[in-house]
Amino acid sequence: MAKRKDKESFEPRATAFAAETELGSGRRSARLRLRAAWMYYVEEMTQNVIADRLGIGRVTVVRLLNDARSLHEVRVSVSRDLAELLELEFALQQAFGLKEAIVAPLSARDADPSVPIGAVTGEYVSKLLRNDMRIGLGWGRTLINALPFVSERPVANLSVISLLGGITKTKQYNPSEFAWQFARFFQADCYLIAAPALVDSIETKRALIERCGLKDILHLARSLDAVVVGAGGMSSDDTIFRFGFVGERERRSLTAKGAVGDLLCHYYDRQGRLVDHPINEAVMAVPIETLTKAKSRILASGGPHKTEAILGAIAALRPTVFITDEGTAKALLAGVKG
């Protein structure tokens, strides 16, 4: 994807769309304007790429961006299409008993949803943090994509706890690396599970917890104020399988046991129940049951192949806040109705 050289920050705003421009009237033209603004300011596409994606001329893209600014939909901020997105958010809240749902728009059906979901997650978590808070962090592509949208500031006595052990095969998506980078933004203390995410046996797991100081981290996790996690799917393209941390053989055996996804390498079925598989006994992570005790439980996830994984994650975690994209929101609601 071509990216433009200049970069501006953004802040989604919940403001209604103002009068339509000469490009058209009604929801369709407003949505086109919003998509152009989102693609330009958040996904950092060039105006030529935006024109190709939307099937319009470059001059029209320029006019859309100018109109978005003049209508105060962009203030280094991108306003969301309340007419449709808020309807999806309300439907998600009702369907899953959420305190809040946030639905990010997609620039195209085949766009990577982890980018806009990450952007919204970074902004949301930045505003959530307060002094003397303890926050637990998961891992994955979506949360990594949240980092550029985190607002850096000092937060007094903030504790950041990585909820999963380390993954040595890929530094970019390493849970420990992510938690450390996040903590630096807020000058916070960072607590890591100094062990591999998966060990060879339950005996090894018990020994590490008892003898290597991990019991203190797990105890600290019982008093978390908030947790932020993503749901992993069972596709071979999902991060943990793509990098070979969990092999194809294990993936197939997990699927055979009824696994539809994972939270922190805890594999569960559609109802959110852990499946009977050795991996669930050998994972070095904070248990899902512990996560459910946090007051704020934020699930950030999306993608066309993750519908079942997210439904299971919602059942297991019982999130208070769910952040996703518009395509996934529609698929989830259709799945519930079906």
Task: Round to whole Å and give the CA distance between 26 and 29.
Answer: 6
> Which pLDDT value is given to residue 8?
45
311: its two tokens: 């439904």
Q: What is the pTM of this model?
A: 0.76
Per-block average pLDDT, block size 10, for the chain (338 residues)? 45 34 55 88 88 90 87 63 81 96 87 93 95 96 92 96 81 78 96 90 90 87 98 89 86 97 97 97 95 98 94 98 97 85
SS3 call for 290: helix
What Cα–Cα distance (Å) separates residue 224 from each residue in 135, 140, 142, 199? 6, 20, 21, 25
SS3 call for 220: helix
Long-range contact set of residues 272-278: C-beta below 8 Å, sequence gap at least 24: 272/312, 272/313, 272/314, 272/315, 272/316, 272/317, 273/316, 277/253
Buried b (16+ CB within 10 A) or exposed e, 16-49: ebeebbeeeeeeebbbbbbbbbbbbbbbbbbbeb
314: its two tokens: 């919602």
Eight-state DSSP code of residue 56: S
177: its two tokens: 């690396």
For each of the domains in the chain, give its residue range(s) and CATH number, in order of start.
1-80 (1.10.10.60), 82-337 (3.40.50.1360)
What string of DSSP letters covers 137-190? E--SHHHHTTGGG------TT-EEEE-B-B-TT-STT-HHHHHHHHHHHTT-EE
